[in-house]
Structure 1
Amino acid sequence: MTDLDLSTPPVAAERTWRAPDVFWPSLSAATARLDPPLGVLHLPALRHNAHDMLRRAGGKPIRVASKSVRVRSVLDAVLALPGYAGVLAYTLPEALWLAEGDAEHPPIGDVVVGYPTADRAAIARLARSPELAARVTLMVDSLAHLDLIDAVVPPGQRETVRLCLELDSSWLAPVLGHVGVYRSPIHSVASARELAEAIAKRPGFALVGMMGYEAQIAGQGDNPPGKPAWGATLRWMQKNSRDELLSRRGEAVAAVRRVADLEFVNGGGTGSLEFTSSDPSVTEIAAGSGLFGGHLFDTYRAFHPAPAASFALSVVRRPNPETATLLGGGWIASGPPGPDRMPSLEWPTGLSMVGREMAGEVQTPVTGAAASVLRIGDRVWLRHTKSGELSEHLDGFHLVDTVDGRARVVGEVATYRGDGRVFL
């Protein structure tokens, strides 16, 4: 374990990512004795992103979305910053691991599971532990979720289970139809109130929170390169969706508060920190992707995270004078298949993937002016589309910081994978 201190924003001289011809060669020099594939966390960039997210949140606390990090030491370091509070986990087994703590990491006392669970063994562990039941909150959007929990451990034989009701934050547009992600069936104010009332009547449960993730706003870049008309359409959609959600979410939260004494109302994401902060019905914002700064955010107009997380691959072949082949590279992001789900080639500049191969699991050919001068053993720097998904391909990240004016490796932190944890 390496202790991380993110308390101080980087000084101007450390913001080298603003000069790519300085930033990427400095990473190559700092990691010259390490063999790719390797992942790097640039600490000045990580500190910048952590503090910039707090600025954008406008004073509302940020609950860290662990799916977008998957590095326990980074979660601990971010939670040590005033303004960050609690974790939004993605599975119940992960939440229990975070809430238990271990010799190297303190237990996290407030973990909300962002998705409903059907993991019976994990439910049983939660329900029979006073400590875990007090620290972990389960997501529900249906009485069927309560029925499953009751079937695993009946109310009289367990601790009270904390629940969070998820409100569907998608937009039912007049012409476009459903815009957003398919998550909760609870869309209307009436359905939210009805489910809250039904939960209140069930023994063994406590409704303590509400959540709504506006994916069509937070997770959709509004400035796609080379597509001005589509960008204008996206901005129109997002404005109308914001207006609709601001009204409906406020009414739904008020209706549920008349039934239950809510401890929190969660919303948002890295891409919508400003909007979600402006919603008076929301008490906290979920965000995490902006910490590592995947290249997904290169298509947003309102903010530009620093490239805190990146990875390097080695050139292992020269099939012809115009082409260099990298070992590995098929680290494809989840979501609709397309070029924007592939890693971005960052350095050297001027590289592109081959249309018929693109990023392959074992090899990735690259072409372009820079490819002609790459030699066997040279490295190429890439960024993942998402943020936390990169952690699934690495046992750990090398930490690079500025020491005596130069980028140097100062430590290493394990990913979930490096800790022997795979939750999905």
Structure 2
Amino acid sequence: MSRVTPTTSRSIGQHTHDYAYYRTVLANHALPAAFIDLDHFAMNLERLRQRAGNLPIRLVTKSVRSVEMIRRILAAGSFMQGLLCYSAGEAAWLASQGFDDIVVAYPSVEPTDIRAVATQLRYGRAITLMVDSIEQVMKISRIAQAEDVVIPLAIDLDMSSAFPFIHFGVHRSPIHDETTALILARKIAEQPGVALQGLMGYEGQIAGLMDDVPGEPVKSAVIRHLKKKSIVEVNARRQAVVDALRKDGHTLRFVNGGGTGSFESTRQDRSVTELAAGSGLYAPTLFDHYRAFKVLPAAGFALPVTRVPKAGVVTCSGGGYIASGPMGKNRLPLPWLPAGCRLLANEAAGEVQTPVQHALSTSPATGDPILFRHAKAGELCERFNELLLIQDGQIIDTVRTYRGEGKSFF
């Protein structure tokens, strides 16, 4: 395994590889295929390191979904510390692969998964489960007692902002202030088999919402205004909750905050001990238009042109890899290269074929690749068994995705 080495700040630029580069690299490989451009990937990793300042970054595994890519990222330097998983079952499996210092970002109440976590705890791995209700704590406590382990827990603090007539954020947790956090923390302290170790406050409305979208100046300005107000409110609230928990006698090993889109503002919170990121490495289309930072396209997939129905249009095999979230055009995979390609509005990306309109000057031929980018990061890996790793104009390795390992956690 070659190490992903962050580039120096002097070498980071906006240059991206063009269509001819990828077409040459993929010329002798079967399509469709998913790939990671390691040159761009390393630049994105270095940018995250710079933006994090002195805080460590916990890797968000749902945005990566490949054991080998996770290993490469953690090997990049000590600024990458620990994993933030999306499933307790995933966390237990990754622990069995040798990973440690794992936090599960979402509440887990499936007994089979919690017992799998308990098994890894007995082997000495560190896995922390997330909770936001007394009911969750009680379920975990009963299993922990039966398994004769102590399961570390973290409280999920809701970081949405309530403005007049606007719920700015995601509906994530009922724990939203000092009072509700203290009630839950005290309940954890009363229960055998569990122990409070951390707190997570993910400000999704800041980290995951683009604020500089071309063609949408008014909407982008409104979002930036709401973000500015929200940053002040949520940072103060997270600090107050952490201070209240510690004053009440609770020891927190970590306070996790932020995401790729909020490093600059999350760092302003003195209570945060670590940041979290993952999407900024693959750089899907939903992270293209932030004012505070830029990313380079590092993950994509290539579909083969299988027919040419008319001049200016080619039809590709496969391609209907739609992202989760609210229905809309921004959840579609987008043609990336050759430049100027676009989906047809009345067909979009289809399960078995995807027509693409292109400039007459490009004229892709049957068998040529059309390169696409997914709207979200790790979801691409649910469609492919392997990722081609491209570096310096050649495929240097092939690594398996979770799917390629035979794993699906939801």
Question: Which TM-score applies when normalising by structure 2?
Answer: 0.95
1:258-269 aligned within 5 A: 258=247, 259-269=249-259
Residues 1:154 and 1:383: Cα distance change in structure 2 (over 3 Å): closer
Residue 6 (str. 1) matches residue 4 (str. 2): yes
Q: CA RMSD for the aligned pairs?
A: 1.8
1:150 Cα offset (Å): 3.5
- Percent identical residues: 40
SS in 2 for 1:299: coil
Q: Which residue in 1 is equivalent to 2:85?
A: 89
Residue 140 (str. 1) matches residue 136 (str. 2): no
Q: Which residue in 2 is equivalent to 1:104?
A: none
1:321 Cα offset (Å): 2.2
Q: Which residue in 1 is equivalent to 2:291?
A: 301
Find the aligned partners of 2:158 and 2:206 in 1 and give their Cα distance: 13
1:372 Cα offset (Å): 7.4
Residues 1:116 and 1:132: Cα distance change in structure 2 (over 3 Å): farther
Q: Which residue in 2 is equivalent to 1:379?
A: 369
For residues 249-308 of structure 1, the C-alpha deviation after alignment (integer angstroms, 9 at most, x for no partner) is 100011112331110000100000111122111000111000111111112111111111
**Amino acid corresponding to residue 218 of structure 1 in structure 2:** A
Residues 1:130 and 1:303: Cα distance change in structure 2 (over 3 Å): closer
Find the aligned partners of 1:136 and 1:13 in 2 and give their Cα distance: 37
1:147 Cα offset (Å): 1.9
Residue 423 (str. 1) matches residue 398 (str. 2): no
SS in 1 for 2:117: helix
Find the aligned partners of 2:174 and 2:124 in 1 and give their Cα distance: 26
Residues 348 and 370, structure 1, Cα contact 8 Å, conserved in 2:
no
Find the aligned partners of 1:357 and 1:375 in 2 and give their Cα distance: 21
Residue 174 (str. 1) matches residue 171 (str. 2): no
SS in 2 for 1:303: coil
Equivalent in 190, 195, 205 of residue 201 of structure 1: 190
**Amino acid corresponding to residue 395 of structure 1 in structure 2:** N
Equivalent in 217, 224, 231 of residue 213 of structure 2: 224
Residues 96 and 132, structure 1, Cα contact 8 Å, conserved in 2:
no
Find the aligned partners of 2:84 and 2:269 in 1 and give their Cα distance: 19
**Amino acid corresponding to residue 413 of structure 1 in structure 2:** V
Question: Which TM-score applies when normalising by structure 1?
Answer: 0.92
Residues 126 and 132, structure 1, Cα contact 8 Å, conserved in 2:
no
Residues 78 and 84, structure 1, Cα contact 8 Å, conserved in 2:
yes
Residues 1:290 and 1:14: Cα distance change in structure 2 (over 3 Å): closer
Equivalent in 231, 236, 239 of residue 247 of structure 1: 236
Paired positions, count: 408
Residues 1:13 and 1:270: Cα distance change in structure 2 (over 3 Å): closer
Equivalent in 291, 302, 317 of residue 307 of structure 2: 317
1:33 Cα offset (Å): 0.3
For residues 77-99 of structure 1, the C-alpha deviation after alignment (integer angstroms, 9 at most, x for no partner) is 11121201000000011100111
SS in 2 for 1:41: strand
Q: Which residue in 2 is equivalent to 1:284?
A: 274
**Amino acid corresponding to residue 89 of structure 1 in structure 2:** C
Q: Which residue in 1 is equivalent to 2:51?
A: 56
SS in 1 for 2:221: helix
SS in 2 for 1:418: helix
SS in 1 for 2:181: helix
Residues 323 and 371, structure 1, Cα contact 8 Å, conserved in 2:
no
Residues 63 and 378, structure 2, Cα contact 8 Å, conserved in 1:
yes
SS in 1 for 2:288: helix
Q: Which residue in 1 is equivalent to 2:33?
A: 38
Equivalent in 112, 115, 120 of residue 124 of structure 1: 115
Find the aligned partners of 1:125 and 1:341 in 2 and give their Cα distance: 34
Residues 1:370 and 1:117: Cα distance change in structure 2 (over 3 Å): farther
1:12 Cα offset (Å): 7.6
Find the aligned partners of 1:131 and 1:156 in 2 and give their Cα distance: 13
Find the aligned partners of 1:30 and 1:365 in 2 and give their Cα distance: 23
**Amino acid corresponding to residue 244 of structure 2 in structure 1:** A
SS in 1 for 2:275: strand
Find the aligned partners of 1:277 and 1:348 in 2 and give their Cα distance: 38
Q: Which residue in 2 is equivalent to 1:211?
A: 200
Residues 162 and 168, structure 2, Cα contact 8 Å, conserved in 1:
yes
Mind listing any 5+ residue stretches in structure 2 that lack a counterpart? none
1:368 Cα offset (Å): 3.5
Moved over 4 A (4+): 10-15
Residues 156 and 200, structure 2, Cα contact 8 Å, conserved in 1:
yes
Find the aligned partners of 1:113 and 1:348 in 2 and give their Cα distance: 39
SS in 1 for 2:316: strand
Residue 74 (str. 1) matches residue 69 (str. 2): yes
